[in-house]
Amino acid sequence: MKGRMMKQGDLLPEVTFQTRVRDESVGGDNPYRWQAMTTADYFKGKRVVLFSLPGAFTPTCSTYQLPGFEKAADEMADLGIDAIYCMSVNDSFVMNQWAKAQNLKNVKVIPDGSGAFTEKVGMLVRKDNLGFGARSWRYAAIVEDGRPVAAVIHAPDLNETFEAVEGGGARLNGRTIAASGASLLENASVLTGAGLLDSPKWPEPWPGLCSISMDRSRDLQVRRHC
Phi and psi for 156 in degrees, rounded to 5? Answer: -60, -35
Catalytic residue among 61, 86, 210, 226: 61
Distance CA 117, CA 90 (A): 12
Give the H or E element holding residue 94: helix 92-101
- 182 three-state secondary structure: helix
Cis peptide leading into residue 54 (ω within 30°): no
Distances (CA, A) of 67 to 42, 106, 116, 117, 214: 21, 10, 26, 23, 51
Distances (CA, A) of 40 to 2, 4, 12, 123, 127: 22, 19, 9, 19, 29
Burial of 56 (0-12, 13-18, 19+ CB in 10 A): buried
| DSSP secondary structure letter of residue 171 | E
Residue 133 near residue 119 (C-beta atoms within 8 A) = no
210 among known catalytic residues: no
Q: Which residues are catalytic?
A: 61
